[in-house]
Structure 1
């Protein structure tokens, strides 16, 4: 009996000692790539642990801008029967200011306990010269990644359309894994319109005489609204790049090093020329190449009938920046305010299509009335001169109606106009049906119609309330059904994405469907409204924090971009973890 008690006590002590040793062996630390760096360099921070944990929370990185990460890597090895585990969360940071900056504490939960890293101080100095070592990943990225702004015409006239195309060039020896827009130019003193790019496509081209891959990132059409020297501020992108190294893994595959780089297209100067001074009086700001047309729906009609007269400007130029000229009609044709119509499409060549004003005219008297020709002047940028076009005069023939009377005057001696309307005595027709009412008719009060008029509004109000209440219930049930269905689809596609971690294309298709259906279930967003700007507005209105919004938008962009560029297993695992994280967080918030 005593030996059994001793054995139990011994086992308990050994167990407690083992658990204590396990807790003491937990190592969670923050490692930085360098303690001193220049303002133009990036810093890599690794949060490394030797035991797996949950609920990792990075620091706020005050004084830095996160340009890459978090990237997650896991190492699990057995050497001589001993297991070695390592898990790392990596971030790439760009300093925002000089001086001593502290990387704060990160936390993680391991075995039910919270562990924290120690703060790390980093000294940021002036910008340093970039190393030209051909084996340095940063040097390789600087030499093989370029953002170029191509302007179609740097010396346009005022209101002449030009285009600016931003192209991201990268050498075939590096892989672009993620792109984010940091700074977007506002195109001050320009009328601008972005050309939508439905899908990013990798194309082949040349840069400085060398073969490069490139992606058209942004296309914009500009119409200068001011003469002189105008500046277009630079577009800046944050690009994550996988750079091949000289090392290889156990299976002989080349090991890639991930580098985050901020690139800019630089400022562009546009010299806008003034239009010539000899502009005709009919010029109203039209610049381009146009035609004019005056048409009517009919030319023969009776008095008090109506017709529509349309003045239409068609062609290529600044169609949205001027109005069609007005038409002149005699006073006997009553003219109403015009209805403006616009059918204009915009591409890299500028605006194309037509604009028009449609007037409704109503003649009052018999006769023939002219609609005068219309003058339209525009500046032709190809010929560099003003051109004036004229429409044909149209005669409106009014067949039946009152006759326009004029005083008989001597045309040689009279100075008064002959087109003066005299006073015309008009009489009402004699009524043939007087609709007489019996003097001794019964009183309306207390009659059947009296009570119908009294109670009919209440009856109609009750019907309206019942109708809208039933419609609200029906809409609510339909909305709830759609939300439940979309939520089930989101979970289904997220599970499929997890199964396809080793199949890039199927993984990103499933991940995109999961995120789309999750939004449909939580925000009742339809496919037609599925855009990054719309999603960000809805999340912001639901008080979702900025980091979660950016992470969700970044995942959508990764799904779009990963279809056309290679993606490493690390990037795929990172996207899956981020998707689970952001969906779980939004599920709690929404």
Structure 2
């Protein structure tokens, strides 16, 4: 990363404008923590704060000195908040650093020229210490004598409730071949935490120096966990079997990681907004309407979305409040967030349909959303702008009387037409009545004969055959009986190629007009991969049976739970009116992940 890239990043969000006397501008730096373990990344943000975006950057930010620290990431940050009723615009860049050895480091002052004035941030001091037992077991006694060991590590040991915390499980081996001999990974107890699994990169094998010795490392699991209660939460050791040489040849050896303790902090009561519902992270609020001028009885879509990173599971979007003259329908919610390598990111959106009943000018009040920012350690309230709607009288309303008269006069002619149609169809009605009579008499005769014991198959055939022939020769196809076909399904071989082909077809159905076609194929894929994994045929297939068999194969309970959820949703979606309001791209990615997990074990 070069200084030029940082300069270009600032130029992208800098706006040239007129400077006013009311401007309040400051430039500051903030670190997410001041004490970290060796090898742990930490972030420092450099922010311009102002009560307006009407300022110009005359000279871009000068990169701060960071001797002994390596920049490993950069991201832009933009936020609008309201503090004591006043809007504050915050724009900046967040840099991620990592130290190569223990010690005390300083990130120097960054400088920037705004409206002809030079601003400088305060230096940031950070202490890098050797990883402790609660955070890592890299340096535990005897590590350098072990050919292989497992390590659990969290990104933060004292987070707030609902704050996302990275949890990494790494396998270290002196011999690279040992990494390919692992099996039966077992997850530690995550009670008190809401976990989200992250699919690790397939190329994550690295070389690392541990206690002065060279090891090959592979991240075999990564989670983002969200503490659900304040206090100490213990993460039990994870374990995995590794095939190692022994006196008797080779045998699986259980390798266990260290336990990790998280001490979660309760969210502060001071300054907590009334509309706060538990959202923790960094977010932005966006609102929009698809039109601002419309006619009565015409609909307008009001969209509200919260975008950012953090715990999306605890987000409830604010309610849209409208004047009594505007009818409001239940909002349609859409979740579009994922768990990435850097954490949970995306958005939660709702669309509310509004229909004005009378003409006039109306104002939709602003909506507010509050969250807790764990970096700033304070509550932030975001507020949208109000929306003005101009509603004109609809032409349909003005002509309603003439329309009703036309409908009334039209009814007379329709009644005449109906009488005429009845006369034209007399012959068909007589035929239908005769046919019903024949069927009734035939079944009466059939039951009478059967009761007296005189009926046989030949008689039954003579009775049913003419009825079927009459129905088959009917001029109206909708009265033709449909023959029910019963197919005995034999157990078939389900190949990996077949499942892969179905996944490719599933990807093509993401943008289909009818989502039910997508879910039908998804249900088939999930059934096939589960039957193949458990050696179960279709005749004996049931969700409970498959779940029990998967559990007995030592597959992670999280994987089994995700399979059950996807399978259940696929079944519901086939019959759900209006679908499940899911992002099919997300559903496809989750299906691929589960299929890969089941096929690889």
Q: Which has the larger radius of gyration?
A: 1
TM-score by length of 2: 0.49
